[in-house]
Chains A and B, each alone.
Chain A
Amino acid sequence: MNFLEVNDLKTYFFTRWGTVKAVDGVSFSLKEGETLGLVGESGCGKSVTCLSILRLVPQPAGRIVGGQILVQGEDLLKKSEEEMRKIRGAKICMILQDPTTSLNPVLTIGNQLMESIKIHLGLKGQKLRERAVKMLEMLRVPSPEVCLENWPHQLSGGMRQRVVSAIALSCQPLLLIADEPTTSLDATIQIQFLRHLRELQWQTGLTLIFITHDFGIVARMCDKVAVMYAGKIVEMADVRDIFNRPLHPYTEALMKAVPKLEEKVERLVNIEGEPPRPYALPQGCTFTPRCASKKERCQPDQYPPVIETKNGHWVRCWKYV
């Protein structure tokens, strides 16, 4: 059975200027211990997809209007807010891009780390402290006892991200959503951090969703990749297939935009045009206006259907219909 199954998820924002279909019919599934990479330009709906899984879509404009989110067979969209609170933090956790704002500046590390352990595991006193120290040790924080007494501003960025992860992992969640967790870290710290995360995943069987812009991280961390464009997943495949044989023109373009070390380039490749305005998405395939391989076959008023080219590799493009 799949650990996580998202079926036809739709999250819309109802604003004064119109309806924004931030997530429009997204489906994917993950087995326990797998890692999914969510890739796409800013504003394509990656983060909203993840917030929808946590049922934390920004209120009051945003609303999940349809679909299913099954975690171990249970539909999260049918849970009450009270039940969701018990699931968040205990089963599903999240780490965010910027560790400087992820920690409350007026509380000590220990105070914040012990908060969710207290909420979800109900530990107290010495046991609570031991658990907190163990978590910091697990993420290789040097002298964890001292760290517990520190304030967030006394730690470096890499250390803070480890603390944030320790908080996220403290209640042994089954699913961790990492929203560009390494963007604000420098390259060496990035690799260290990713390595620890990978080790933890092997130890605990954690399922991961990785939101990122960085194909290097995708290659290093992920089993599966989903490429999103304007609220829809346009291509999804195993990580090898994506790198070896990208099918969707958008995926191809993204890959080309990554500068390569061995080639000398004058100008970096970019994708022509701009991402479509969310209030006025083009009819039919939303990528058509920027697509390098658009032809007459592309039907102007219909979104391309899902085409599965081989087991587990599917794409939404008229090219393969």
Chain B
Amino acid sequence: MFAVRGLGFLNFLLQLKRYLLKLKSRKFPIIPGSIISLFIFMAVFGEILSPYPATKVSLPEKFLPPFFLTKGSMDHPLGTDMLGRDILSQIMAGARPSLIVAVAVLAFGGLGGTALGIMSGYYGGKLDVILMRAADSTIAFPIILAAMLLAIILGPSIQNVIIAISLIIWARFARVIRGEVMSVKERDFVALARVAGASGTQIMFRHIFPNVAHTMVVMLTLQAGYTIIVEATLSFLGAGIPPPTPVWGGLISRGREYIRIAWWIPFFPGMALALIVLSFNMLGDWLREIIDPKLRQV
């Protein structure tokens, strides 16, 4: 008995060691990678792949459970909602607005924030004070409330959700990047670039940006998950992408009322959300390791 237990513990240790070694080898994270690819695939080819049109109402088939429950069937693998719409199809259709919002927000807010952060850190002085106080106030303001206010003032639409989240997310990039720039710009090679006659713009593009780019890329992947969550929250609260477009936040919100009789309505969209956010975070960690030039293999 004890011997068996001891063996089990040893086995556990061995597996732990193997797992740690695997982490160290910095292989591409296959599972998160394929989950993200799957969602991107769904976002692009959603209509062709999905078994039913996402908004097709079929009242006789309402509240059908997922296939693994007794009344479920493979016709609707993840069940149907209160109007008999297929949950799987809605999740597939919901991938597109989520990813569009994420990409657009990162392009505007992320790259914009990085640019402002580099300028703030490099020039310092008044510009730095103004930009950082602006970033501070943006961060201090409750993000959901801010996004809701913006979405309500600008009206709910996908563009306005993008604008609202971008206006908030830039500050995170600006702050982190600015800190990195402050340390990079004091390094000797920047001084030597100035001695060599490089202008401020050249130094920022050629010397500073590549040295903070890895931080930016990691931030981009980590904030991708965060952006998707904020978008879902806004949609959940009714301040996001308006109803006819199937979005995960909206699905969860509508399913909430029926959680006692049909838990699968909010559960599966929520799982989709959790999966993609987790995948983005894991991808971000992996990227940080491979992008650091000191860790790069010769």
| Co-complex (A, B) | yes
Taking residues whose C-beta sits less than 8 angstroms from the other chain, chain B's interface range is: 20 to 34
Q: With A and B bound together, what is the CA distance between A57 and B199 in angstroms? A: 16
Residue B20 at the chain A interface, CB threshold 8 Å:
no
Residues of A contacting B71 in the complex (Cβ-Cβ under 8 angstroms): none
> With A60-B125, A151-B293, A153-B293 known to touch, is A104 a contact of B189 (CB < 8 Å)?
yes
Q: With the chains together, A90 CA to B198 CA distance in Å?
A: 11
Q: Which residue on chain B has the smallest CB distance to residue A151?
A: B293
Closest to B209 in A: A106
Decide: B197 and A56 in contact? CB cutoff 8 A. Answer: no
Whether A94 contacts B197 by the Cβ 8 Å rule is no
How long is the Cα–Cα vector from A98 to B196 in the complex, in angstroms? 17
**Is A115 among interface residues, defined by CB-CB distance under 8 A?**
yes
Q: Which residues of A contact B213 (CB under 8 A)?
A: 106
Q: Which of A86, A94, A105, A154 contacts B195 (CB 8 A)?
A: A94
Cβ contact within 8 Å between B195 and A54: yes
Chain A residues, Cβ within 8 Å of B187? 101
Point out the residue from B124, B197, B210, B211 that lies within 8 Å of A90, measured CB to CB. Answer: B197
Interface flags for A296-320 (1: CB within 8 Å of B; 0: not) read 0000000000000000000000000
> Inside 8 A of A164's CB, which chain B residues have their CB?
192
A contact residues around B194 at 8 Å (CB): 56, 88
Residues of B within 8 A of A54 (CB): 195
Which residues of chain B come closer than 8 Å to A112, judged between CB atoms? 189
**A107 contacts the other chain (CB 8 A):** yes
A79 at the interface (CB under 8 A from B): no
Q: Within 8 Å CB of A151, what residues of B?
A: 293, 296
Known A56-B191, A105-B294: A167·B210 in contact at CB below 8 Å: no
Per-position binary interface string of chain B over residues 171-201, scored 1 when its CB falls under 8 Å from any chain A CB and 0 otherwise? 0000000000000000111011111111100
- Rounded to whole Å, the gap between the CB of B288 and the closest CB of chain A is 15
27 sampled A-B residue pairs with Cβ under 8 A: A56-B194, A60-B124, A60-B125, A85-B198, A85-B199, A87-B197, A88-B195, A88-B196, A89-B196, A89-B198, A93-B195, A94-B192, A96-B191, A101-B189, A102-B188, A104-B189, A104-B210, A105-B211, A105-B293, A106-B211, A112-B189, A115-B196, A119-B196, A120-B197, A151-B293, A151-B296, A167-B196
The 3 closest A-B pairs by CB, nearest first: A89-B197, A89-B196, A116-B196
